[in-house]
Amino acid sequence: MVSGLAFGFMIPILGEVTPGTTQRHLIKLPGAALANDEPWPVISVAGAKPGPVLFVNAGVHGGEYPAVEAVIL
């Protein structure tokens, strides 16, 4: 769920995301199995105006390198 703020919007796991920006985040994922892992990098790209939302994810399983490369391109 995304809630509106005066100068941006809030995504619970990322914090405030400012419209018209690209931001890098480091997040700790919840759960006992992930408790000792390093933070995971996440990049958010927010348009300057409201509009459709797209989520891109890759590399869910350890050997999925082609998917990660596809997302980077």
* 43, 62 contact by CB (below 8 A): no
* 16, 3 contact by CB (below 8 A): no
Q: What is the pLDDT of residues 29-47, one digit of tens each?
A: 777 666 667 787 888 888 8
What pLDDT is stored for residue 50 in this prediction?
82
List strand residue ranges (DSSP E) for 1-73, in order: 3-4, 9-11, 15-17, 21-27, 40-46
Dihedral of CA atoms 8, 12, 14, 17 in degrees, nearest 10, equals -10
CA distance 21 to 49: 11
What pLDDT is stored for residue 73 in this prediction?
66
CA distance 18 to 9: 7
High-pLDDT (> 90) share of the chain, %: 0
Q: How many domains does the chain have?
A: 1
Q: pTM for this structure?
A: 0.60
What pLDDT is stored for residue 2 in this prediction?
47
Residue 53: domain span: 3-72
